[in-house]
Amino acid sequence: MSAATDIPVIAVRGLTKSFEGRKVVSDLDLTVNRGQIYGFLGPNGSGKTTTIRMLCGLLTPDGGSGTCLGYDIRKQAEAIKRQVGYMTQKFGLYEDLTIRENLTFVARVYGLDRVKARVDQALERLGLDERACQLAGKLSGGWKQRLALAACILHEPKLLLLDEPTAGVDPKARRDFWDQIHTLAHEGLTVLVSTHYMDEAERCHEILYIAYGKLLARGTVPAVIAAAHLSAWSVEPIRGDGTEIAALSRQLQQRDGVDMVAPFGAVLHVCGRDEAALDAATRDERIDPRYRWSRVAPSLEDVFIDLMGRSQDNFQ
């Protein structure tokens, strides 16, 4: 049976997985549409990799059901694996083989047909053709990731599951990598990508924020920010050596009405879910001449820090 095109690429309900008696993914519902880029965000250990592995048939869920590419995630794992490109955090390339040799090797290991044509196409799609003869071991981190992505699309998957593909890669290379992801999405590929970088989150069509195994927020970046109902102030020290701002941060964290305090360089962001309570809680400090307080729009990072704090409270 082949996957129908009008149904969601991923449609799962109630996904649950425990390790050693501890729930790491809890009752997760997820629907993903074709040609879109979904960013999977959340603190370390929140269950992103586990979810990705359940979706592509590498791990069987303890509970829940659904389909990936039209195939049952419990019963048709092999069919799913054939149509999914999965890029793990660590790609095992052969350093003493060239880019082309690496791709040819991967194509042969997976028993693909038309090896040369597939490798040529992957090289071209990812702009690797001019470097095809370079040794993989001599590539920068960004180019290595691009090679890993090329290896993932050799079998022409319909869905890419990318697990922190740009961890440790410099900003320019990350931007280039994201341009590639967008090109692939334009060509019809659906992408679910986990990341810890806010700038990458902002390049997704939708983001999914997961903490302690629970999906806490999803939607476009503006929708996720709006749904958090956060009010925010930024606090800038006018004079002093910066030690006061650390003390101020500690003081404000204790106050009712202040839900989140986070430093961004020399500036402090102070947020609350109840605007009146936040304003009341910070009234005295806002007239302190050592600081300049300005009302700001909450950033995605503010929202994530707040969500993380809240989920931690629920978890403990």
Ligand X SMILES: Nc1ncnc2c1ncn2[C@@H]1O[C@H](COP(=O)(O)OP(=O)(O)OP(=O)(O)O)[C@@H](O)[C@H]1O
Q: Which residues bind ligand X (CB under 6 A)?
A: 19-20, 24, 42, 44-50
Minimum distance, C-beta of residue 32 to ligand X, in the bound complex (Å): 17
Nearer to ligand X, 107 or 210 (CB): 210
As measured in angstroms, the least distance from the Cβ of 132 to ligand X is 32
Nearest CB to ligand X, comparing residues 45 and 263: 45
Nearest to ligand X of 21, 289 (CB atom): 21
For residues 105, 106, 109, 115, the Cα torsion angle rounded to the nearest 10 degrees is -70
Nearer Cβ to ligand X (21/265): 21
By beta-carbon proximity to ligand X, the closer residue of 256 and 301 is: 301
Q: Least CB distance from residue 78 to ligand X, whole Å? A: 21
CA distance 150 to 172: 19
Q: Is 80 exposed, middle or buried (0-12, 13-18, 19+ CB in 10 A)?
A: buried
Minimum distance of ligand X from residue 37's CB (angstroms): 18
Residue nearer to ligand X on the CB measure, 39 or 42:
42
- Residue linked to tokens 């600081």: 291
CB of 197 to ligand X, least distance (A): 12
CB of 298 to ligand X, least distance (A): 23
For 153, residues 6+ apart whose C-beta sits below 8 A from its C-beta are: 85, 122, 125, 126, 160, 184, 189
Specify the residue, 110 or 315, whose C-beta has the smaller distance to ligand X.
Answer: 315
- The one-letter code for the residue type at 280 is A
If you search the block for the tokens 């990705």, which residue do you land on?
52
Nearest to 162 by CA among 204, 198, 134, 199: 204
Helix (H) or strand (E) holding 30: strand 22-32
**Shortest Å distance, C-beta 91 to ligand X:** 15
Burial 154-169 (b: 16+ CB within 10 A, else e): bbebbbbbbbbbbeeb
Q: CA 262, CA 206: separation in Å to the nearest integer?
A: 25
Q: Of 42 and 57, which has the nearer Cβ to ligand X?
A: 42
Amino acid identity, residue 205?
A: H
Whole-number minimum distance, CB 287 to ligand X, in Å? 41
Distance CA 88, CA 170 (A): 18
For residue 235, how many C-alpha atoms fall within 13 Å in the half-sphere facing its CB? Answer: 24
Amino acid at 203: R
